[in-house]
Chain A
Amino acid sequence: MTATILEVKDLGKRFGGFVALDGVSLDVARGERLGLIGPNGSGKSTLVNCICGTLRNEKGSVHFDGERMDGLKAHARTHRGLVRSFQLPRPFHSMTLADNIRIPLLYTVHREDAAARAHSSLRDRCHDLLEMVGLANKAKRLPRDLTQVEMRKLELARAVAAEPKLLLADEAMAGLSHSEVDDILELLFRLNERGITIILIEHIMSAVMRFSMRLAVLVSGKKIADGKVDEVVQNPEVVRAYLGE
């Protein structure tokens, strides 16, 4: 076991003539809480998509837990413990909350163990995961009955159900109120204490600064800063990118 769990090297991605990622390199240590920030359109989501296999990178490489990831499909990366949540929650609309949680249990955690899939403990596990995010009393409801913050909690619970080693939380808090942001942050802290490495992609600076042990900043597809939180936010280049000249 090495100290680095994720190693992104010289990652490049274009959409036609637009360079979305221009040689981004990023290392993440096991157990770390990394904040990834940058203005709109700076390539944060593209980076997440390339790391998780939703998009294919054209240049560079992604290593996770010592294994090369590029070329693997998204589901294969999830199987290895590289799990994401989506910026806009994407629940399975026709399924109850409990069934939403059941999917990663069936297809990732117990994918090679038919006996465990049939076992009644699966239901308990779904219940526990919903309990963790405070949605246990809505287990039989459909996602359309949820509020915005509950939807985000479901999104996180479903990601956690896949038993990630590394969780990429893509704007898990956008559009939430202060107390709701605190709710989600507290949840992420708890997950991190359990040993899950977390990359938080976020716009709400107060939340990122409170959560992160380290900050990386993307601007126009390039990483312009990477380091301790208070150093990065005083970095003149970062200030310029956020506030203009």
Chain B
Amino acid sequence: MNTTAFSIIVVVIAVALMAAAHSVNADYLYFASYTILQFMVLATAWNILGGYCGYVNFGSAAFFALGAYSTVFMYKAFPLPVPFLILIGGVVAGIVGLGMGYLTLRLRGSFFAIATLALAVVLQTLVVNWDFVGGSRGAYIIRPENIDIAGFEINYIEYLFGLMMALGAIALIGARTIERSRLGFGFATIRDDEMAAEACGVPTLRLKLIATTISGALMGMAGAPFPYYIGYLQPSSAFGLEYALNSIAMPMIGGTTSWAGPLVGALLLGTAQQYVTVTMSSALNLLIVGLMLIGFVILAPNGLIGVVRDRLLSWKRP
């Protein structure tokens, strides 16, 4: 399937989902779906560096928070419509991603992972001590009740849900396009064997910097509407463990080598978490993630996509 056909299908599904949600028109549905979509974007973003290039980033929360705090900053300094805030969040997080890449990409394996974890701690400390964006007290963002788009009054939470749906569609189409492009082939050589990649003429450092920038930018974009969604942003929620953990766990559970992995993982894990939060307790959330992650790492290291692919292959070739 070529990219145009795939894009059309994704857009059609996104619009259909939005129409379906609109026909139900329950606030809770918007809230829950927004969260799942947000995790899907985060997981897809993580996978561009972690899955395609093989560099495990533990600092997803930092990039997510950069997007969220860019919004808080703009809200106080120069309020703009949310789509612009998403772009700004993307640019800020993308630049930090590039910077992080320059500083850390000479490290491999667990050393790189530790460095990204450190980045999250450094940024959180900065935010906690920055009064303008609320410091440790946090910041209130007043979400309007409705928004007027071309004469239509739209429930603001539905509007945010729609934006996140669009971002999700862009992320999926982008990830799939990268995967099948020359860039994606280059990323895969880095994951498989960097020394051999260089010997084949692949400029590995440049490609890794491209990956950290795209990945960081997409995470920042996922975080930018968050203050409007949550209404009150404090450092511990923006830098929450669940972002770092989920954005790793979802691609791992779905499968890291394909765009479909983070999608499947986010749908599965995101829905399970929402279900558990409502029916049992919100504290059990991360326990579920942890258990599923351990289970998959042991039983299906290539994720659900990997399991399906292996089945298909052994079926074709008896």
Contact B198 A117 (CB under 8 A): no
B118 interface hit (Cβ, 8 Å): no
Taking a contact as CB atoms closer than 8 A, the residue among B182, B186, B195, B201 that contacts A90 in the complex is B195
Residue of A75, A83, A86 with highest tally of chain B CB at under 10 A: A75
Asked if A92 contacts B188 (CB within 8 A), the reply is: yes
Nearest B residue (CB) for A107: B201
**CB-based contact B192/A92 at 8 Å:** yes
A75 and B202 contact, CB distance less than 8 A:
yes
Scoring A residues 115 to 129 as 1 if CB is less than 8 Å from chain B, else 0, what string do you get? 001000000000000
Q: Is the CB of B201 within 8 A of A78?
A: yes
B196–A90 touching, CB < 8 Å: yes
B195 touches A54 (CB 8 A): yes
Q: Would A73 and B203 count as touching, CB distance under 8 A?
A: yes
**A93 contacts which chain B residues (CB < 8 A)?**
192-193
Q: Smallest Cβ distance from A83 to chain B, in angstroms?
A: 7
Contact check: which of B186, B188, B193, B200 meets A162 at CB < 8 Å? B200
How far is A99 from B185 in the complex, measured between Cα atoms in Å? 8
* B178 part of interface (Cβ distance < 8 Å): no
How far apart are B257's CB and chain A's nearest CB, in angstroms? 6
Question: When the two chains form the complex, which single residue of A54, A75, A92, A117 contacts B201, counting CB atoms closer than 8 Å?
Answer: A75
Q: A94-B188, A103-B185, A103-B189 are in contact. Are A78 and B196 (CB under 8 A)?
A: no
Find chain A residues with CB under 8 A from B185 CB. 95, 99, 102-103, 106
Contact B200 A104 (CB under 8 A): yes
Query: Are B203 and A75 within 8 A (Cβ)?
Result: yes
Which residue from chain B places its CB closest to the CB of A85 in the assembled complex?
A: B199
Chain A residues positioned under 8 Å from B204 (CB to CB): 75
A212 adjacent to chain B (CB < 8 Å):
no
CB-defined contacts of A84 to chain B, threshold 8 Å: 199
B200 touches A108 (CB 8 A): yes
Q: Is the CB of A107 within 8 A of B186?
A: yes
Partner of A111, one of B188, B201, B257: B201
> Does A221 sit at the interface, judged by CB under 8 A?
no
Check B192–A94 contact: CB distance below 8 A: yes
Q: How many residues of B contact A (CB 8 A)?
A: 20
Asked if A91 lies at the interface with its beta carbon under 8 angstroms from chain B, I say yes
Task: Return the CB mask of A155-186 against B: 1 if under 8 Å, else 0.
Answer: 00011001000000000000000000000000
Nearest-neighbour CB distance to chain A for B261, whole angstroms, equals: 13
Main secondary structure of the interface of B (DSSP, over half): helix
Chain B 158-189, CB-CB to A under 8 Å as 1, else 0, gives 00000000000000000000000010011011
Residue of A nearest to B183 (CB): A106
Distance of B166 from chain A, by nearest CB (Å): 29
Q: With the chains together, A64 CA to B36 CA distance in Å?
A: 55
Q: Is A79 an interface residue (CB 8 A)?
A: yes
A62-95 interface code vs B (CB 8 A; 1 in, 0 out): 0000000000011110110001111000111111
| A117 surroundings in chain B (CB, below 8 A) | 182
B200 and A107 contact, CB distance less than 8 A: yes
Q: Do A78 and B192 have beta carbons less than 8 Å apart?
A: no
A42 to B139, CA, bound (A): 65
Asked whether B200 lies within 8 Å of A78 as measured between CB atoms, the reply is yes
Judge if B260 is at the interface, Cβ distance under 8 Å.
no
Q: Inside 8 A of A158's CB, which chain B residues have their CB?
A: 200
Q: With contacts A74-B198, A75-B200, A111-B201 known, what are 16 further pairs, Cβ within 8 A? A: A54-B195, A73-B203, A75-B199, A75-B202, A78-B200, A79-B201, A90-B193, A92-B192, A92-B193, A92-B196, A95-B185, A103-B186, A104-B200, A107-B201, A117-B182, A162-B201
What is B's interface to A at a CB cutoff of 8 Å? 182, 185-186, 188-189, 191-193, 195-205, 257
Closest 10 CB pairs of A and B: A108-B201, A74-B198, A90-B196, A92-B192, A78-B201, A107-B201, A104-B200, A103-B200, A107-B202, A75-B198
23 contacts between A and B (CB under 8 A): A52-B199, A53-B198, A74-B195, A75-B198, A75-B204, A85-B199, A86-B195, A86-B199, A90-B193, A90-B196, A91-B192, A91-B196, A92-B197, A94-B257, A99-B185, A102-B185, A103-B202, A107-B200, A107-B201, A107-B202, A107-B203, A108-B200, A117-B182
